[in-house]
Amino acid sequence: MRPTGIVVGYDGSAHSRAALRYAVTQARLRGTSVRIVTAFDYDWRRSRVAPLESVDQLERTVRDHFEELVDAAVTETRTRYPDVTVTGSVRMGSPGPTLVATGRDAALLVVGNRGFTGLTLGSVSQFVATHAHGPVVVVRGSVDTAVEPVVVGVDISEWAEHTIGSAFEEAARRGAALIAVRAYELPVAYGLMSMGTVPFNPDEIRRAESDALADALRPWRDKYPDVDVEAVTARGSAGRVLVDASRTAGLVVVGSHGHGALVGTLLGSVSLHVLRHADCPVLVVRS
């Protein structure tokens, strides 16, 4: 079954409201629906905040609060965007796993980069980004309606094809330019300096990296001839280079190397660095 609809995590925080705006924008571009999901979890019976006889009432009160929160978000979104089908639901359960399960068959799962915590990347956002079964956008920076470039990090691996393809698709959907970035670092020749010469040529390495990037992009340029593509080969750490590029981008696309429960060990250091520091939304693509 083809994934449909966009699921967005919502807790009423400013970051989740930005995620909701982003989800609606994407729904309008894709001609699909939005489902607003709130999840809460608390072990009331082990807590000392209330006597056991009032736990059920406390749970109902908390659920009522979140249902009112979601209902208000649904009503406001429907009013502002009558062309988008919007629904909402409140789930009892740990927010991260609940969002992953709810978004299993979604075309896109959207979360803010953090909720009411002060973390650079919230625990829920990181859990979703590293465990979701499909594409995830972590919304960072401003959610602007201006058409800004899509940036994709290209690592020339067996998993790169899907990441590159998703970036071209996003650029085509938005009518945006695509900046494909290949970052590289020169080999570290430990113990070789005493030889008098270093056995590699920086210019040759740069040309080889540029050629590899061009080869990776060629079939996608042919498939998306209307997408304006800029290929950039930059010396430096991939994470830093992509974060620098994010300052003028509308989206950064990064890849992961796994699915489901395994993704937590396969979302690499570069992707995590971008998720924590980018100045725009980040799309994590499953390979």
State which amino acid sits at residue 38.
Answer: T
Q: Which candidate, 216, 152, 146, 213, places its Cα nearest to that of 184?
A: 213
Alpha helices in the chain (DSSP H): 14-30, 55-80, 95-102, 123-131, 160-174, 202-223, 238-246, 263-266, 269-277
pLDDT of 51 > 70? The answer is: no
Q: What is the pLDDT of residue 119?
A: 44
Residue for token digits 């807790």? 11
| Closest by CA position to 104, among listed 237, 279, 282, 259 | 259
Q: What is the pLDDT of residues 218-249, one digit of tens each?
A: 999 999 999 999 999 999 999 999 999 999 99
Burial 203-215 (b: 16+ CB within 10 A, else e): eebeeebeeebee
Strands 86-92 and 229-235: unpaired
DSSP state of 108: E
pLDDT digit string (tens) for 165-188? 999 999 999 999 999 999 988 776
Domains by residue range for the chain, with CATH:
1-139 (3.40.50.620), 146-287 (3.40.50.12370)
pTM of this structure: 0.87
More confident residue, 115 or 204: 204
Per-residue model confidence (pLDDT) at position 142: 73
- Contacts of residue 131, defined as CB under 8 A and 6 or more positions apart, other chains included, come to 96, 97, 100, 260, 261, 263, 264
First-to-last alpha carbon distance for the chain, in angstroms, is 18
Higher local confidence (pLDDT), 157 or 116: 157
Res 186: pLDDT: 78
